[in-house]
């Protein structure tokens, strides 16, 4: 085992971020890869044991990390987002959670053999799903808006309630089992929960006011936010254990819904911190497990318990709680199947395992094994099945990666038309009804509105689109749009047209890191492209074969041809740029803007062939 704390930190960091990279590279659920990496480094090979090495710092570190992760997730909970979905969301996070608690507790008692006390505590813990597992799955699976929003809201809102429900169940158990029953402990629990909500709301309002009024400089906003989250969590948690999660959730939801401009600027930074913490905490938790815990996972009663939770408890609680909510059978089926447990379940369960065991409750020794069995089973089964099931139920936006084109003009509409002919999802966005008229007449999917406005987050479902092309007449606006959406799409998937020479802004000194990549080869401005279309240039689709290869195509094409993009057989799109070599093989389709002379020569060739045939 490694003795150096510095080396342990290094190993945890490498395993966490390395697992995230492997998951991205091979399209695997990140939680599954991290769990396996932690198990290999911990109980299997015995390289590290963070709980033993970190000592008293282990639990506080994990608690604060979970609080920050939950806060970051709650910043995405805007009430505008669930417009029209309020009823099913409310039912699932209330009646659905309650049914899941009762059914899970009964299953834990009668199947897993836990005492009533332990069963009701662990039943409360297992209603949680959480942002650490749900959000990565939603990013990978590309669900349609309705199931995606329901799962996201459930995962983030129910997370603190699961911990509170476990605390509530424990307080009830202690109250009922005590010889001198004192209801003051129960009253204190409810008052502490109410205090946590009020505290989170006050923290959110105060931080929001300080940000907007300029009492905190820009460079201190992110550090101040993290300091406030830790303070809010710690104060509430010191009053009553596990109410800190409720406090930071209330704080995040308050900030998300009071319309602070600074929040969006900081969100991407907090997302990066959240990913780092998620990776670290999962490696910490799994590598701290023991071989005895892993062996208990394969006990028959635990395996049967996990199967019942997967196939009976979760689906039944969702189907019953969503009666009359307007959700389709397909949506109920998907939501009823997807419920992976994650960090909160493991951390809260590990806390109660020691507390229940100290109190002498029967079955407390199995809590950690039961929790890990359910966590690992759900992240594996749901992680690998969510995409397949969504496609089977027609609730997936998967298919050919789509493109959003900003700016409606002669060229952008023509490009969108060709993409639609190739069955590529495409949308033209413009803030002018007059300019959008061209897209409307062409029957192109379009949206009216300012792409940079916050309202567009609720008007457009960005899920089907993997690329963004800013093709307006204004160079500075194109650069601004691309810079804004780089965190959403990735730097390699955001493009803008070349800066113009004859008109538009003169941005010769524009920093190369600002805006997206200049697209098409040779890169040309919007005025040049519109002029070529007006002069008779056409957008041509050319499919390569084993005989007609890319080299041949490039050799034969007209010198004035503008290469636009390649649609590969794998359904991926690869745009041509001057600074990157684009590859294409047999079966791929090249789309280009071709001079009219080639069209005339082809027509003339056909006429001559027809005449010769006659």
Lowest mean pLDDT among 171-180, 269-278, 284-293, 438-447: 171-180
Question: What pLDDT, on the 0 to 100 scale, is given for residue 90?
Answer: 87
Cα 284 to the center of its chain, rounded Å: 22
Confidence (pLDDT) at 2: 76
Which of these, 362, 223, 376, lies nearest to 294 by C-alpha position? Answer: 376
Indicate left, alpha or beta for 548 from its phi (over 0: left) and psi (-120 to 50: alpha).
beta
The whole-number average pLDDT for the span 165-179 is 73
Tell me the pLDDT band of 564, cut-offs 50, 70 and 90: very high
Range with lowest mean pLDDT among 20-29, 34-43, 419-428: 20-29
Taking 90 as the threshold, does the pLDDT of residue 459 lie above it?
Answer: no
Q: What's the Cα-to-Cα distance from 6 to each of 2, 40, 47, 217, 567, rounded to whole Å?
A: 10, 19, 14, 34, 48
Query: What's the gap between Cα 179 and its chain centre?
Result: 49
| Predicted pLDDT at 116 | 85
Residue of 116 and 417 predicted with greater confidence: 417
Q: How confident is the model at residue 202 (pLDDT cuts 50, 70, 90)?
A: very high
What is the spatial distance between Cα 32 and Cα 451, in angstroms, rounded to a whole number?
36
Percent of the chain with pLDDT over 70: 88
The Cα–Cα gap between 398 and 172 comes to 47
- How far apart, in whole angstroms, are the C-alpha atoms of residue 307 and residue 318? 17
pLDDT surpasses 80 at 119? yes
Q: Which residue matches tokens 């099945």?
A: 385
CA atoms within 13 A on the CB side of 500: 19
603 vs 610: CA distance, rounded Å: 11
Return left, alpha or beta for 425; rule: phi > 0 is left, psi -120 to 50 is alpha, else beta.
beta
402: tokens are 């789509």
- What is the spatial distance between Cα 440 and Cα 428, in angstroms, rounded to a whole number? 10
Give the list of residues 6+ apart from residue 461 with CB closer than 8 angstroms, or none.
144, 145, 397
In the predicted model, what is the mean pLDDT of residues 111-126?
Answer: 87
Q: What pLDDT digit, counting tens, does each position of 328-386 carry?
A: 999 999 999 998 887 778 777 877 787 787 777 777 788 888 988 998 898 888 888 88
How do residues 204-250 score in pLDDT, each as one tens digit?
A: 999 989 988 888 888 888 889 889 999 999 999 999 877 888 898 88
540 vs 599: CA distance, rounded Å: 10
The single-letter DSSP state of residue 243 is: -
Q: What is the mean pLDDT of residues 42-49?
A: 90
Mean pLDDT of the chain: 84
What angle is formed at CA 248 by the lines to CA 268 and CA 263, rounded to 5 degrees? 30
Q: Nearest 5°: phi and psi at 525? A: -75, 170
Task: Indicate the burial class of 471 (C-beta count within 10 angstroms; 0-12, 13-18, 19 or more).
Answer: buried
Q: Does residue 400 have a pLDDT over 50?
A: yes
Distance CA(496)–CA(520), nearest Å, equals: 9
Give the residue among 372, 405, 414, 553 at the shortest CA–CA distance from 471: 405
Q: How far apart are CA 102 and CA 84, in angstroms?
A: 29
Radius of gyration of the chain (CA): 28
Residue 489: count other Cβ atoms within 10 Å of its Cβ.
Answer: 19
Each residue of 483-524: pLDDT tens digit? 888 877 888 889 998 876 544 455 555 545 566 788 998 888
Nearest residue to 150 (alpha-carbon basis) of 88, 94, 77: 88
Q: Say which residue, 84 or 119, is predicted with more confidence.
A: 119
Q: Residue 309: its pLDDT value, please?
A: 93
For residues 268 and 542, give the distance between their C-alpha atoms in angstroms, rounded to a whole number: 40
Is 427's pLDDT higher than 90? Answer: yes
Pairing of strands 402-406, 426-430: parallel
For residue 267, pLDDT over 90 is answered with no
Write the DSSP assignment of 69-131 as a string of letters: HHHHHHTT--GGGGTTTHHHHHHIIIIIHHHHHHHHHHHHHHTS---HHHHHHHHHHTT---H
Which domains, from first to last, does the chain contain? 57-392 (1.20.1530.20), 402-613 (3.40.50.720)
User: E strands within 391-490?
Assistant: 402-406, 426-430, 446-448, 465-470
User: Would you state the structure tokens that stand for residue 437, as one six-digit string?
Assistant: 């008229």
The predicted pLDDT at position 81 comes to 65
Sorted by sequence, the CB contacts under 8 Å of residue 229 that are 6+ apart come out as 67, 68, 71, 248, 251
Contacts of 226 (CB under 8 A, 6+ apart): 68, 273
First to last CA, the chain: 87
How many C-beta atoms surround the C-beta of residue 226 within 10 A?
17
Q: Which stretch of 141-145, 435-439, 468-472 has the lowest confidence by average pLDDT?
A: 141-145
pLDDT above 70: residue 613 = no
CA distance 467 to 476: 19
Q: Which two tokens stand for residue 614?
A: 């006659």
Show Cβ contacts of residue 308 under 8 Å, excluding neighbours closer than 6 positions.
Answer: 107, 111
Report, as an integer, the average pLDDT of 259-287: 76
Say how far apart CA 567 and CA 42 lie, in whole Å. 45
Q: What is the pLDDT of residues 306-322, one digit of tens each?
A: 999 999 999 999 999 99
Q: What is the pLDDT of residue 300?
A: 92
pLDDT at 504: 46
pLDDT in tens, 63-115: 888 888 878 777 777 777 666 677 888 899 889 989 999 999 999 999 988 88
Is pLDDT above 70 for 612? no
Overall pTM surpassing 0.75 (yes/no): no
pLDDT at 203: 95
Q: Who's near 511: CB < 8 A, 6+ residues apart?
A: none
Confidence at residue 269, expressed as pLDDT on a 0 to 100 scale: 66
């Amino acid at each position: 085992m490694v003795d150096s704390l510095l080396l342990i930190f290094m190993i945890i960091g490498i395993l966490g971020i390395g697992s995230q990279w492997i998951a991205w590279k091979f399209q695997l659920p990140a939680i599954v890869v991290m769990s396996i990496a932690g198990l290999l480094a911990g109980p299997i090979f015995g390289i590290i044991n963070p709980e033993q090495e970190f000592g008293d710092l282990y639990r506080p570190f994990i608690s604060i990390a979970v609080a920050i992760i939950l806060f970051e997730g709650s910043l995405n909970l805007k009430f505008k987002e669930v417009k029209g979905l309020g009823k099913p969301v409310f039912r699932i996070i209330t009646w659905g959670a309650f049914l899941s608690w009762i059914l899970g507790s009964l299953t834990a008692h009668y199947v897993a053999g836990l005492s009533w006390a332990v069963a009701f505590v662990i039943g409360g813990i297992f209603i949680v799903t959480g942002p650490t597992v749900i959000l990565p799955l939603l990013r990978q699976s590309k669900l349609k808006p309705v199931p995606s929003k329901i799962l996201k809201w459930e995962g983030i809102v129910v997370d603190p309630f699961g911990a509170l429900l476990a605390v509530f169940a424990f307080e009830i158990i202690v109250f009922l089992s005590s010889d001198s029953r004192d209801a003051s402990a129960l009253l204190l629990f409810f008052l502490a929960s109410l205090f946590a909500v009020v505290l989170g709301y006050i923290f959110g309002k105060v931080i929001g006011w300080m940000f907007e009024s300029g009492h905190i400089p820009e460079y201190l906003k992110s550090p101040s936010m993290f300091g406030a989250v830790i303070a809010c969590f710690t104060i509430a948690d010191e009053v009553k254990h596990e109410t800190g999660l409720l406090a930071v959730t209330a704080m995040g939801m308050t900030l998300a819904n009071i319309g602070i401009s600074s929040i969006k600027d900081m969100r991407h930074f907090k997302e990066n911190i959240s990913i780092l913490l998620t990776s670290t905490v999962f490696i910490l938790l799994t590598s701290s497990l023991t071989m005895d815990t892993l062996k208990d996972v394969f006990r028959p009663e635990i395996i049967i318990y996990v199967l019942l939770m997967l196939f009976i408890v979760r689906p039944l609680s969702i189907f019953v709680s969503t009666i009359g909510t307007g959700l389709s059978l397909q949506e109920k089926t998907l939501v009823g199947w997807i419920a992976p447990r994650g960090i909160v379940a493991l951390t809260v369960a590990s806390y109660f395992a020691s507390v229940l065991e100290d109190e002498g409750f029967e079955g407390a020794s199995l809590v950690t094994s039961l929790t890990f069995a359910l966590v690992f089973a759900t992240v594996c089964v749901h992680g690998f099945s969510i995409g397949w099931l969504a496609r089977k139920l027609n609730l997936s936006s998967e298919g050919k990666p789509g493109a959003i084109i900003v700016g409606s003009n002669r060229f952008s509409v023509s490009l969108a038309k060709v993409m639609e002919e190739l069955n590529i999802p495409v949308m033209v966005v413009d803030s002018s009804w007059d300019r959008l008229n061209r897209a409307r007449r062409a029957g192109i999917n379009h949206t009216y509105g300012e792409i940079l406005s916050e309202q567009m987050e609720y008007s457009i479902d960005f899920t089907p689109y993997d690329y963004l092309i800013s093709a307006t007449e204004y160079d500075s606006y194109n650069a601004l749009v691309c810079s804004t959406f780089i965190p959403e799409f990735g730097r390699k998937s955001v493009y803008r047209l070349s800066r113009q020479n004859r008109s538009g802004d003169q941005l010769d000194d524009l920093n190369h890191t600002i805006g997206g990549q200049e697209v098409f080869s040779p890169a040309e401005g919007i005025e040049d492209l519109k002029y070529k279309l007006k002069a008779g240039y056409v957008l041509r689709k050319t499919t390569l074969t084993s005989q007609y290869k890319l080299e041949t195509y490039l050799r034969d094409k007209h010198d004035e041809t503008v290469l636009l993009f390649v649609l590969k057989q794998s359904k991926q799109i690869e745009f041509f740029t001057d600074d990157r070599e684009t590859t294409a093989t047999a079966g791929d389709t090249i789309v280009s803007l071709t001079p009219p002379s080639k069209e005339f020569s082809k027509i003339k060739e056909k006429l001559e062939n027809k005449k010769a045939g006659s």
